[in-house]
Amino acid sequence: MTALRLDIEYDGAAFLGWAEQPGERTVEGVLRDALDVVFRSRPAIRVAGRTDSGVHASGQVASIVVPDGLSEAEPVRLRRSLAGLLPQDVAVRNVTVMPDGFDARGDATSRVYDYRLLVGPPSPLRRDRTLRHLGRPLDRAALDACAAMAVGQHDFRAFTPTETNHTFFHRTMIECAWRDDGDEWVLRLEANAFLRHMVRVLVGTMLECGRGRRDTESFRALLEGAPRSDAGITAPPHGLTLVAVRY
């Protein structure tokens, strides 16, 4: 058997997340439908990060295992075949033959997300890619302080739903920082792994600090295993993009 790496990009607006669900339009579902046509079977897919409904990806990675006997040109043909079978809001950008046993999820060392906040005038072309800030100006220093606090190993249970399958809530945040990108503020987060909704609750809570609704020291306390009820709102999904997976 041969392991293949699929580098995937998608617009999450019209998908009910990554994971295949009966009767629902999901990224995994349409990808498996396309692979079924190519291989006449529905191969199991391992994905680096299971994105939620409405979340986008420019650097998603998945792996599949297919029968041996691929020629050197086969990955290119597979990419072209998938391009003709997949809908316009998802694409396999590259196919790579990997060493035996490659697992897109298990072998990943970190995932990288961007959350984009529009602080300028309305932008119709970016309405599905950015969260537009309304109201009085945000305290950027407070946002920067919260982001800096999140770096390192913490108990992030305050930033994931109370009803969860997770039993271990410590994650190591490698990078968490706001940067300017024209009239957008972009939060870049890299961690060894993320809890469900973790990025969006972090963003929502940071924005409450930026609006003066909570102080930054209360944000620090959330990183010590506080309950979900102590943290802020869950930011909308459309501002979030999975941009890279590290191996």
Question: Considering 52, 128, 155, 181, which one is annotated as catalytic?
Answer: 52
Distance CA 114, CA 123 (A): 18
Structure tokens belonging to residue 156: 């992030």
Distance CA 96, CA 231 (A): 41
Which residues are CB-contacts of 47 (< 8 A; sequence separation ≥ 6)? 18, 28, 60, 61, 62, 104, 105
pLDDT of residue 173: 98
DSSP assigned state of 151: S
Give ∠ CA 238-242-246 in degrees, rounded to 5: 170
Which residues are CB-contacts of 139 (< 8 A; sequence separation ≥ 6)? 209, 210, 211, 212
Residues of the chain with pLDDT under 70: 69-73
Stretch (H or E) spanning 49: none
**Cβ(197)–Cβ(52) under 8 Å?**
yes
pLDDT of residue 201: 98
**Cβ(62)–Cβ(45) under 8 Å?**
yes
Residues 207-220 pLDDT 10s: 999 999 999 999 99
pLDDT of residue 71: 55
Structure tokens belonging to residue 241: 């993009």
Residue of 137, 119, 135, 239 whose CA lies nearest to 188:
239
Distance CA 194, CA 203 (A): 14
Q: Is 230 a catalytic site residue?
A: no
pLDDT of residue 69: 64
Phi, psi of 61 (to 5 degrees): -130, 135
Q: Taking phi first (over 0 means left), then psi (-120 to 50 degrees means alpha), and beta for anything else, what does residue 189 get?
A: beta
